[in-house]
Amino acid sequence: MTESVTEAVNAAGGLADGRLLPWPDVDGEPFWQFARQGELRVQTCADCGRRRFPPRPACPRCHSFDSTWQLTSGRGRIWSFVIAHPPLLPAYAKDAPYPVAVVELDDDPSIRLVGTLTTSVRRPDAPLNAVPVNRLRIGAPVQAVFQTLAPGVTVPRWALLNS
Amino acid sequence: MLKDRTAVVGIGQTRFAKHLDEPEKTLACRAVLAALDDAGIDPGEVDGLASFTMEETDEVELAKSIGAGDITFFSRTGFGGGGSCATVAHLAMAVAGGQANVGVAWRARKRGSGVRPWTNTSVQLPTPAQWTRPFGLLRPADEIGMLARRYMHEYGATRDHLFNVALACRNRANQNPAAVMYERPLTREMYMDARWISEPLCLYDNCLETDGALACVIVSADRARDCRRKPVYIHSAAQGLPAQHHGMVNYWNDDPLTGPAWAAARHLWKNSDLGPGDVDVAQIYDAFTPLIPLSLEGYGFCGRGEGAAFTEGGALELGGRLPINTGGGGLSEGYVHGFNLITEGVKQLRGTSTSQVPDAATCLVTAGEGVPTSALLLRA
Closest to B171 in 3D by CA, of B377, B345, B315: B315
Q: Cβ contacts (< 8 Å) between A27 and chain B: which residues?
A: 127
Question: In the predicted model, is pLDDT for residue B120 greater than 90?
Answer: no
Q: What would the pLDDT profile of B8-32 be if each residue is shown by its tens digit?
A: 999 999 999 999 999 999 999 999 9
Question: In the predicted model, is pLDDT for residue B117 greater than 80?
Answer: no
Listed in order, strand segments (DSSP E) in A7-161 are 15-16, 19-20, 41-45, 67-71, 75-84, 98-105, 108-118, 141-150, 153-160
pLDDT of residue B186: 98
Is B206 an interface residue toward A (CB < 8 Å)? Answer: no
> What is the mean predicted confidence (pLDDT) over B76-103?
97
pLDDT of residue B114: 63
What is the rounded distance in angstroms from the CA atom of residue B134 to the CA atom of residue A111?
Answer: 19
Q: Do B121 and A25 touch (CB under 8 A)?
A: no
CA distance B238 to chain A (A): 24
Closest to A105 in 3D by CA, of A79, A70, A84: A79
Question: In the predicted model, is pLDDT for residue B124 greater than 80?
Answer: no
What is the rounded distance in angstroms from the CA atom of residue B234 to the CA atom of residue B236?
Answer: 6
Q: Do B199 and A60 touch (CB under 8 A)?
A: no
Q: Which residue among A81, A83, A92 sits closest to B138, beta carbon to beta carbon?
A: A92
Which domains are present in chain B? 6-111+208-379 (3.40.47.10)
Q: Could you tell me which residues of chain A have a Cβ less than 8 Å from any Cβ in chain B?
A: 14-15, 18-25, 27-28, 32, 53-54, 60, 79-85, 88-89, 92, 97-98, 100, 102, 110-116, 128, 133, 138, 149, 155, 157
Kindly indicate the confidence band of residue B251, based on its pLDDT and cuts at 50, 70 and 90. Answer: very high
Q: What ipTM was predicted for this assembly?
A: 0.97
What is the rounded distance in angstroms from the CA atom of residue B252 to the CA atom of residue B244?
Answer: 8
Closest to B178 in 3D by CA, of B208, B153, B198: B208
Percent of chain B clearing pLDDT 70 (strictly above): 96
Q: Cβ contacts (< 8 Å) between A138 and chain B: which residues?
A: 149-150, 153
What is the rounded distance in angstroms from the CA atom of residue B339 to the CA atom of residue B87?
Answer: 10
- Substitution target in A21, A36, A77, A80 with the highest count of B β-carbons within 10 Å is A80
Question: In the predicted model, is pLDDT for residue B52 greater than 70?
Answer: yes
What mean pLDDT value characterizes chain B?
A: 95
CA distance A127 to chain B (A): 12
pLDDT of residue A111: 95
Question: Closest residue of B to A111, CA-based?
Answer: B252
Helix (H) or strand (E) holding A2: none
pLDDT of residue B248: 87
> Within 13 A of A49's CA, how many CA atoms are on the CB side?
1
Angle at B48 between CA B43 and CA B53, to 5 degrees: 115
Residues 6+ apart with CB under 8 A from B21: none
- Per-residue burial over B7-44, b = 16 or more CB atoms within 10 Å of its CB, e = otherwise: bbbbbbbbebeeebebebbbbbbbbbbbbbebbebebe
Closest to A92 in 3D by CA, of B247, B128, B119: B119
Return the amino acid letter for B24: E
3-state DSSP assignment of residue B134: helix
CB B340 within 8 A of CB B348: no
> What is the mean predicted confidence (pLDDT) over B321-344?
98
Is B198 an interface residue toward A (CB < 8 Å)? Answer: yes
Return the amino acid letter for B193: D
Mean pLDDT by 10 residues, chain A (163 residues): 87 93 94 97 98 96 98 98 96 96 96 97 97 96 97 97 81
What is the rounded distance in angstroms from the CA atom of residue A141 to the CA atom of residue B199?
Answer: 21
CB B376 within 8 A of CB B292: no
CA distance A116 to chain B (A): 6
Closest to A138 in 3D by CA, of A109, A107, A95: A109
Kindly indicate the confidence band of residue B128, based on its pLDDT and cuts at 50, 70 and 90. Answer: confident
Q: Cβ contacts (< 8 Å) between A136 and chain B: which residues?
A: none
CB B129 within 8 A of CB B117: yes
Q: What would the pLDDT profile of B154-181 be if each residue is shown by its tens digit?
A: 999 999 999 999 999 999 999 999 999 9
Return the amino acid letter for B356: Q
Question: In the predicted model, is pLDDT for residue B112 greater than 80?
Answer: no
Look up B285 and say whether it is catalytic: yes
